């Protein structure tokens, strides 16, 4: 391959500047890249400079491009010397770049190279008539039609020493030449000994119907298989029925349609007035019902509390409208207004509290603007806990010892002025709600029992809270 050196000083021009048209073009290229990335335009600008200078890049042109892009001269020189498409010495009117890599070399590029050396002399020198110069370069990407060469901007492929000589004679004489393959090949198709795609039906359109029939048959088979699978699933379900999931855990007298989502879809208030009254009465807690058993729950009910067995649709609609009006008058639910949720079998107190907390907070946040800040959301559901300006004695507790608090949450708690276990141990319910909402995971503090863990680690009566 050729050595990449700048032309001798005697051949270098004294200066270089883009023509007004090319300068405007260069500005358009630079504008394609974001601020600070103007160096990405270096190759287009070098190419335009080479084009303006008669097909080669003098040192002054390289430096002018570097100054235009605000790059060190050596950086642009590195680019210009790396790519062989940039000629660093004067070239002839027709610059021949001969591919010399493996595919072309295997197909006859060595003979082409010998012909050029015999006719023009060593690479990098302009012929005596000024028409030609040549250079051996790396792969030009037309391996299927090897051997090949690029002359100025065009590719000439499937060359032999004879066809290359004829091509050069025509170019020098100004006669028209054929670009591309010189053996009549179309694009990169095989040129001889072709044994593929010989069936005439591939080209006369007769196979289209056969393919369409095959596609339709495949679709029909897939549809039939789907029907068989559906029928098989129905048979298995009939043979081995399982309880429907929506009724799991529901009271025997409460149908699946008697749920908040179904009542809301029917135009009724999702939470019944009686449910609200039961929620406000601590004695009706679902947790208490789960512990005392159905016998005690049934004993607490009285006939007066049960709705009439023969309520008319008009009476039910009137009751629903009254409950909806009552619900609409309250934009933000208080903690004691959230109807207790059925406790899952084996659910811990932390899980029950977390689910209730999530439900209340979700309903409250629904009324806030979508762009509300984390602090605005937290203020809407709770009270910000007291904070310290800095850790006591400059030594914060290792809050990451609490399960659920990682380095990220510890840092955010420090930003809130929470440095010690005793601060977390003393959080009230409203403060737990505030912190959980601010950190964007309401209910998690209850679920992971941060307060209980903090009490075990530091004690609720430690001096951290009293020092505030």
Domain layout of the chain by residue ranges: 9-82, 94-181, 354-466
Average pLDDT over residues 295-319: 50
Q: Tokens 């679920």 label which residue?
A: 447
Model confidence over 131-175: pLDDT tens digits? 999 989 989 999 999 999 999 989 999 999 999 999 999 999 999
Confidence (pLDDT) at 228: 77
Confidence (pLDDT) at 362: 84
**What CATH superfamily is the domain 9-82?**
NADH-quinone oxidoreductase subunit E (1.10.10.1590)
Domain formed by 94-181, architecture:
3-Layer(aba) Sandwich (3.40)
Q: Name the pLDDT band for 75 (thresholds 50, 70, 90).
A: very high
Between CA 34 and CA 17 the distance in angstroms is 25
Given a cut of 50, is residue 350 above it in pLDDT?
Answer: yes
How far from 239 is each of 129, 233, 242, CA to CA, in Å?
96, 10, 10
Q: Tokens 């430096």 label which residue?
A: 63
Average pLDDT over residues 104-111: 93
Model confidence over 266-294: pLDDT tens digits? 666 666 666 666 666 655 555 444 444 44
Confidence (pLDDT) at 165: 94
Confidence (pLDDT) at 74: 95
Confidence (pLDDT) at 388: 94
* Contact indicator for 371, 401 with CB cutoff of 8 Å: no
Model confidence over 207-251: pLDDT tens digits? 676 667 777 888 888 888 888 777 777 777 676 665 555 555 555
The set of residues, in sequence order, having a beta carbon less than 8 Å from that of 361 and lying 6+ positions away, is 381, 433, 436, 437, 442, 443
Give the dihedral sign, CA 439/445/448/452.
positive
Q: Name the pLDDT band for 329 (thresholds 50, 70, 90).
A: very low
Model confidence over 330-349: pLDDT tens digits? 444 555 555 555 545 555 66
- Which of the two residues, 434 and 226, has the higher pLDDT score? 434
Confidence (pLDDT) at 209: 67
The DSSP bridge partners found for residue 99 are 137
**Least confident piece of the model among 30-39, 176-185, 205-214, 448-457:** 205-214
Q: Name the pLDDT band for 25 (thresholds 50, 70, 90).
A: very high
Confidence (pLDDT) at 444: 86
Confidence (pLDDT) at 131: 92
- Which of the two residues, 354 and 85, has the higher pLDDT score? 85
Given a cut of 60, is residue 313 above it in pLDDT?
Answer: no
Q: Is 449 helix (H, G, I), strand (E, B) or coil?
A: coil
Between CA 397 and CA 387 the distance in angstroms is 14
Between CA 162 and CA 417 the distance in angstroms is 87
Confidence (pLDDT) at 204: 74
Q: Name the pLDDT band for 304 (thresholds 50, 70, 90).
A: very low
Which DSSP helix (H) or strand (E) runs through 226? helix 207-239
- Which of the two residues, 271 and 180, has the higher pLDDT score? 180
Give the dihedral sign, CA 74/77/79/82.
negative
Average pLDDT in the chain: 79
Question: What tokens does 303 get?
Answer: 């006939």
- Which of the two residues, 21 and 293, has the higher pLDDT score? 21
Confidence (pLDDT) at 72: 95
Confidence (pLDDT) at 28: 94
Q: Which of 453, 442, 449, 447 is nearest to 335 (CA)?
A: 442
- Which of the two residues, 308 and 177, has the higher pLDDT score? 177
Given a cut of 60, is residue 297 above it in pLDDT?
Answer: no
Q: Which of 271, 242, 261, 416 is nearest to 338 (CA)?
A: 271
Confidence (pLDDT) at 40: 95
Confidence (pLDDT) at 298: 44
Given a cut of 90, is residue 255 above it in pLDDT?
Answer: no
Given a cut of 90, is residue 464 above it in pLDDT?
Answer: no
* Contact indicator for 60, 17 with CB cutoff of 8 Å: no
Given a cut of 70, is residue 467 above it in pLDDT?
Answer: no
The set of residues, in sequence order, having a beta carbon less than 8 Å from that of 349 and lying 6+ positions away, is 287
Model confidence over 28-72: pLDDT tens digits? 999 999 998 999 999 999 999 999 998 899 999 999 999 999 999
Between CA 63 and CA 71 the distance in angstroms is 9
* Contact indicator for 136, 98 with CB cutoff of 8 Å: yes
Given a cut of 50, is residue 328 above it in pLDDT?
Answer: no
């Amino acid at each position: 391959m050729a050595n990449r050196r700048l032309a001798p000083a005697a051949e270098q021009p004294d200066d270089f500047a883009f023509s007004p048209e090319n300068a405007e073009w260069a500005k358009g290229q630079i504008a394609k890249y974001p601020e600070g990335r103007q160096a990405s335009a270096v190759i287009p600008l070098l190419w335009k400079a080479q084009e303006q200078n008669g097909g080669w890049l003098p040192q002054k042109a390289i430096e002018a491009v570097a100054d235009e892009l605000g790059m060190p001269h050596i950086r642009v020189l590195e680019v210009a010397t790396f790519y062989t498409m940039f000629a660093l010495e004067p070239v002839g009117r027709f610059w021949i770049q001969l591919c010399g890599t493996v595919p072309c070399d295997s197909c006859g590029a060595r003979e082409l190279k010998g012909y050029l050396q015999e006719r023009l002399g060593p690479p990098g020198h302009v012929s005596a008539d000024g028409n030609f110069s040549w250079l051996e370069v790396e792969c030009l990407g037309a391996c299927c039609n090897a051997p090949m060469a690029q002359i100025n901007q065009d590719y000439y492929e499937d060359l032999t020493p004879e066809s290359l000589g004829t091509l050069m004679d025509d170019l020098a004489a100004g006669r028209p030449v054929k670009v591309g393959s010189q053996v009549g090949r179309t694009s990169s198709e095989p040129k001889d000994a072709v044994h593929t795609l010989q069936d005439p039906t591939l080209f006369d359109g007769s196979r289209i119907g056969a393919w369409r029939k095959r596609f339709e048959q495949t679709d029909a088979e897939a549809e039939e298989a789907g029907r068989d699978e559906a029928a098989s699933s129905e048979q298995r379900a009939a043979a081995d029925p399982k309880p429907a999931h929506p009724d799991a855990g529901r009271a025997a007298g409460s149908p699946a349609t008697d749920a908040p989502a179904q009542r809301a879809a029917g135009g009724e208030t999702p939470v019944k007035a009686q449910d609200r009254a039961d929620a406000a009465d601590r004695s009706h807690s679902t947790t208490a019902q789960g512990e005392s058993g159905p016998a005690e729950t049934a004993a607490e009910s009285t006939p007066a509390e049960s709705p009439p067995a023969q309520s008319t649709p008009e009476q039910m609609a009137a009751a629903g409208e009254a409950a909806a009006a009552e619900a609409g008058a309250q934009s933000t639910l208080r903690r004691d207004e959230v109807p207790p949720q059925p406790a899952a079998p084996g659910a811990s107190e932390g899980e029950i509290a977390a689910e209730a907390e999530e439900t209340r907070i979700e309903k409250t946040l629904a009324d806030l603007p979508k762009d509300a800040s984390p602090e605005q959301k937290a203020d809407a559901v709770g009270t910000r806990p007291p904070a310290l300006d800095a850790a006591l004695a400059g030594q914060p507790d290792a809050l990451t010892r609490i399960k659920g608090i990682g380095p990220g949450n510890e840092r955010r708690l420090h930003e809130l002025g929470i440095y010690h276990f005793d601060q977390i141990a003393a959080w009230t319910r409203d403060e737990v709600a505030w912190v959980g909402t601010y950190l964007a995971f309401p209910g998690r503090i209850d679920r992971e029992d941060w307060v209980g863990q903090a009490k075990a680690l530091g004690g609720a009566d430690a001096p951290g809270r009293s020092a505030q």
